[in-house]
């Protein structure tokens, strides 16, 4: 695995060199003039130093923290992804959807009603409604609203329900967050795979049972369901419920389906340790900068999108489980039963810091985190890192903040907002006075032109021309787009 990672990193590095030559040649063909001496590479040492120091500064100030929490997970990428890397697909009812790793389309837009038997009550049952039958394996409770009259007879009692697969009792709990009008008004609680359930479990001190692993397979310990792909397990769970006479009905249901914008995978919610950046304070300042006129966004109608994202901003999950990127400069240090995460520029510095924290300076083990940072973290530093920040103060002072930032409207939050928040956190200033957002060239189907879709035209093809045969050869397996043009 280590060899594969190094080989992949080498290919990425070689790709950078090749891409730089191609880009330089094309820009010269267009007779464009640049300050070539200022050319930079995101992974060069100056940028790496800026990223490391930014992380350490923010971590030391408590703005970056590590937490075991529920994250958006792409099983296809085997990595956490941020909220803005998710496309929400409206599903009006039962429909088949392509999911990476499955030969057949997976049906979504169904609501399954399942009966939980009440222990001690021979003919009593509570029916829950769910769009995710496969996660029943990890149910730890059933919840109802305390004012739901349908369940008034259970008030003041310690009610236990029988879990049909784990063959253990789980509690019936009352919580005001339950929607009385959803399904039967009773909901299954699976803290390890649902955002609302995760929060409810915290309030009621419920345990977590992880059902799905990083690859989207059912974890070990669940009998015949173990090692099945999650959506294959869904069908088997429904079949088993029917055999146990616990499946009450399956009915059409409109829903919002979260999909990974990069892989097309259906987003899974998994509890994983990750690094987070606190964003609320900087987000509010970014909002105020636009409202006060300190930061101007053109066209002005994009201000509404700016406010929508930043006024509802949550902490940013900045760690990624991939090979290529800026490795997180944090070290896990243990001494006896105590564990501390220490951010440092080097292993030697981490050891020195750890010795000052642990009694008698005793360190049993120390290792660097293998995760890398979200690419938008390093990109977010560019308005000042390109001038040598945190060094080279004369040049930073001369050119920063910028007068104008020009970029595509599709990355207003991905990049522009992150640049603004990180600049406010690290320099105390907004990074530019004005943002100019340009349009996006789309194909005949209204989709953004991109290499991943196979519908892109290369700049040299626009300059020199290209045949349809050339385009199909260039896009290879992704050439289906061109077959219908």
How high is the pLDDT of residue 5?
Answer: 57
How high is the pLDDT of residue 478?
Answer: 45
Query: Can you list the pairs that 359-367 forms with residues at least 24 positions away whose Cβ atoms lie under 8 Å?
Result: 359/335, 362/335, 362/336, 363/333, 363/334, 363/335, 364/334, 364/335, 364/336, 365/332, 365/333, 365/334, 366/331, 366/332, 366/333, 366/334, 367/331, 367/332
How high is the pLDDT of residue 455?
Answer: 78
Span 416-470, pLDDT tens digits: 999 999 999 999 999 999 999 998 888 888 888 776 677 778 788 888 888 888 7
Q: For residue 331, is pLDDT > 50? A: yes
How high is the pLDDT of residue 223?
Answer: 94
Q: What is the mean pLDDT of residues 365-373?
A: 95
Span 419-434, pLDDT tens digits: 999 999 999 999 999 9
Determine contact, residues 225/233, Cβ cutoff 8 Å: yes
Averaged confidence pLDDT in the chain: 90
Q: For residue 481, is pLDDT > 50? A: no
Lowest-confidence pick of 26-30, 134-138, 283-287, 393-397: 26-30
Lowest-confidence pick of 19-23, 276-280, 325-329: 19-23
Q: For residue 484, is pLDDT > 50? A: no
Span 260-269, pLDDT tens digits: 988 899 999 9
How high is the pLDDT of residue 121?
Answer: 83
How high is the pLDDT of residue 123?
Answer: 84
Report angle CA 18, 40, 439 to the nearest 5 degrees. 80
How high is the pLDDT of residue 483?
Answer: 45
Q: What is the mean pLDDT of residues 112-133?
A: 92
Span 151-184, pLDDT tens digits: 999 988 999 999 999 999 999 999 999 998 888 8
Lowest-confidence pick of 11-20, 209-218, 395-404: 11-20
Structure tokens belonging to residue 271: 């509890």
Confidence band, pLDDT 50/70/90 cuts, at residue 23 = confident
Lowest-confidence pick of 111-125, 228-242, 425-439, 447-461: 447-461
CATH of domain 86-266: 3.90.740.10
Q: Angle of helix 280-292 relative to helix 303-311, nearest 10 degrees?
A: 150
Instruction: Pick the closest to residue 247 from 257, 239, 259 (CA basis).
Output: 239
Cα–Cα distance measured from residue 480 to residue 222, given in angstroms and rounded to the nearest whole number: 41
Share of the chain above pLDDT 90, in %: 71
Cα–Cα distance measured from residue 324 to residue 8, given in angstroms and rounded to the nearest whole number: 8
Tell me which of 122 and 332 has the higher pLDDT: 332
Q: Domain residue spans in the chain?
A: 1-37, 86-266, 440-484
Cα–Cα distance measured from residue 58 to residue 424, given in angstroms and rounded to the nearest whole number: 12
How high is the pLDDT of residue 333?
Answer: 95
The DSSP-derived string for 152-174 is: GGGTTS--EEE-TTT--EEEEEE
Span 335-361, pLDDT tens digits: 999 999 999 999 999 999 999 999 888
Q: Which residues of 37-53 are buried (b: 16+ CB within 10 A; e: fewer)?
A: eeeeebbeebbbbbbbb
Q: For residue 3, is pLDDT > 80? A: no
Q: What is the mean pLDDT of residues 132-159?
A: 94
Phi-psi region of 302 (alpha: psi -120 to 50; beta: other; left: phi over 0): alpha
Determine contact, residues 175/199, Cβ cutoff 8 Å: no
Query: Can you list the pairs that 302-308 forms with residues at least 24 positions away whose Cβ atoms lie under 8 Å?
Result: 302/409, 302/412, 302/437, 305/412, 305/413, 306/412, 306/413, 306/417
């Amino acid at each position: 695995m280590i060899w594969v990672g190094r080989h992949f990193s080498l290919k990425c590095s070689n790709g950078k060199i090749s891409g730089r030559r191609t880009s330089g040649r094309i820009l010269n063909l267009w007779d464009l003039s640049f300050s070539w001496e200022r050319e930079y590479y995101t992974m060069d040492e100056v940028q790496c130093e800026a990223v490391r120091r930014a992380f350490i500064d923010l971590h030391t100030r408590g703005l970056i923290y590590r937490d075991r929490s529920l994250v958006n997970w792409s099983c296809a990428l085997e990595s956490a992804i941020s909220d803005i890397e998710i496309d929400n697909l409206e599903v009006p009812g039962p429909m088949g959807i392509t999911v990476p790793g499955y030969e057949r389309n997976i049906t979504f837009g169904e609501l399954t009603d399942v009966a939980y038997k009440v222990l001690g009550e021979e003919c009593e049952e509570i029916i829950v409604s769910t769009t995710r039958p496969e996660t029943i394996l990890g149910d730890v409770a059933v919840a109802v609203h305390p004012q739901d009259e349908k369940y008034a007879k259970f008030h003041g009692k310690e009610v236990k329900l029988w879990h049909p697969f784990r063959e253990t009792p789980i509690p019936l709990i009352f919580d005001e967050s339950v929607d009385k009008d959803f399904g039967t008004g009773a909901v299954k609680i699976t803290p390890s795979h649902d955002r609302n359930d995760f929060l409810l479990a915290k309030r009621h001190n419920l345990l977590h049972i992880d059902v799905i692993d990083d690859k989207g397979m059912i974890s070990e310990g669940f009998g015949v369901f173990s090692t099945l792909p999650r959506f294959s397990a869904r069908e088997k769970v429904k079949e088993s419920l029917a055999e146990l006479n616990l499946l009450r009905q399956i009915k059409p249901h409109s829903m919002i389906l979260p999909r990974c914008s990069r892989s097309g995978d259906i987003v899974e919610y998994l509890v994983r340790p990750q690094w987070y950046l606190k964003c609320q304070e900087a987000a509010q300042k970014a909002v105020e900068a636009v409202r006060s006129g300190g930061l101007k966004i053109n066209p002005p109608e994009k201000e509404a999108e700016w406010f929508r994202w930043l006024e509802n901003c949550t902490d940013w999950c900045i760690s990624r489980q991939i090979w290529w990127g800026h490795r997180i400069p944090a070290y896990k240090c243990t001494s006896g039963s105590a564990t501390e995460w220490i951010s440092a520029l080097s292993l030697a510095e981490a050891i020195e810091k750890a010795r000052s924290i642990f009694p008698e300076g005793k360190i049993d083990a120390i290792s660097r985190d293998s995760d890398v940072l979200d690419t938008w973290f390093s990109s977010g530093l560019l308005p000042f890192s390109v001038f040598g920040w945190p060094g080279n103060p004369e040049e930073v002072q001369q050119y920063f903040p910028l007068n104008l930032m020009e970029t595509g409207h599709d990355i207003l939050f991905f990049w522009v907002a992150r640049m603004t928040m990180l600049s406010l956190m690290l320099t105390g200033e907004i990074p530019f006075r004005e943002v100019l957002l340009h349009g996006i060239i789309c194909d005949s189907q209204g989709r953004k032109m991109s290499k991943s879709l196979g519908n892109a035209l290369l700049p040299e093809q626009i300059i020199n021309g290209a045949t349809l045969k050339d385009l199909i050869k260039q896009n290879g397996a992704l050439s289906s787009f061109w077959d219908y043009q």
